[in-house]
Amino acid sequence: MSTSAAEVMACSRVIPVVVLDDAEAAVPLARALLAGSVPVMEITLRTPTALESIARVAEQVPDMVVGAGTITRPEQAAMAVAAGARFLVSPGSPEPLVTAMLAERVPVLPGVATATEALALLRHGITEMKFFPAGPAGGPRYLKALAGPLPEISFCPTGGVDASNSGDYLALPNVPCVGGSWLTPSDLVRAGRWDDISRLCLGAWPDEPQ
Ligand code: 3PG
């Protein structure tokens, strides 16, 4: 299936940022997110089980749009897509990393925190970006200020976003979705409390009550 980064961002108002210590949890977690009307997840390459987790979700939960996050080294882009990742997310956007991500021909959300970094990505034709770390970098006021000079860019703010402030970001015209780990807390994942995770998803954002 061929999708764009804009389509990935349109999947859900929240892209869960997932850290998995146990690949066994990947499939039930993906199903719990789907049950909570969240059909997209970013599995971060921060744990040794991440690629295996991506592969399991890609094979066993085809309705889930599974991506790989925390891409920090160029070679990880190909490894993630080979495992089954349907989109790639990075916390920053150094040139070799962006080139490697684009070479995979899947949607990409490279990270930026400044107008200068965003302009560098625009030169690649990239108009969808992660804004990271969203809270410390300036929060909704900062993103609102970027909308004036850079109206063609859509941001997925991540880092310090949660149920209490997601609405402030989602109210902005340049923020179609946010990212965050609050929908998949490690204690609930470790305990296999999948129904609780589905419930968290269903109450994930204040402006669209379920
Ligand atoms: C990320 O990788 O995008 C962030 O670490 C997630 O940030 P959060 O834990 O504050 O949601």
Specify if 16 maps to a domain.
Answer: yes
In the reported structure, the alpha carbon of residue 161 is separated from the centroid of ligand 1 by a whole-number distance in angstroms of 8
pLDDT digits (tens, 9 = 90+) for 71-84: 999 999 999 999 99
Distance CA(111)–CA(108), nearest Å, equals 10
4-56 pLDDT, tens digit per residue, is 999 999 999 999 999 999 999 999 999 999 999 999 999 999 999 999 999 99
Q: Quick check: is 50 in a domain?
A: yes
CATH classification at residue 143: 3.20.20.70
Q: Does the CB atom of residue 92 touch ligand 1 within 6 A? A: no
CA distances (Å), origin 44, targets 15, 29, 88: 12, 14, 10
In a domain, 208, yes or no: no
Ligand 1 centroid to residue 18 C-alpha, Å: 9
- Per-residue pLDDT band for 203 (boundaries 50, 70, 90) equals confident
Residue 209 counted as domain residue: no
pTM of the model: 0.95
Q: What pLDDT is recorded for position 3? A: 83
Q: Answer yes or no: is 207 within a domain.
A: no
Direct distance between the N- and C-terminal alpha carbons of the chain, in angstroms, rounded to an integer: 29
Domain span at residue 35 reads: 5-202
Farthest-apart Cα atoms in the chain, separation? 46
Q: Which atom of ligand 1 is nearest to the CA of 182?
A: 11
> Of ligand 1's atoms, which has the minimum distance to the CA of residue 162?
11
Q: What's the domain count of the chain?
A: 1
Q: DSSP of 14-56, one letter per residue?
A: EEEEE--S-GGGHHHHHHHHHHTT--EEEEETTSTTHHHHHHH
Evaluate whether residue 93 is within a structural domain: yes
Asked if residue 22 is part of any domain, the answer here is: yes
Q: Is residue 10 in a domain?
A: yes
Say whether 69 sits in a helix, a strand or coil. strand
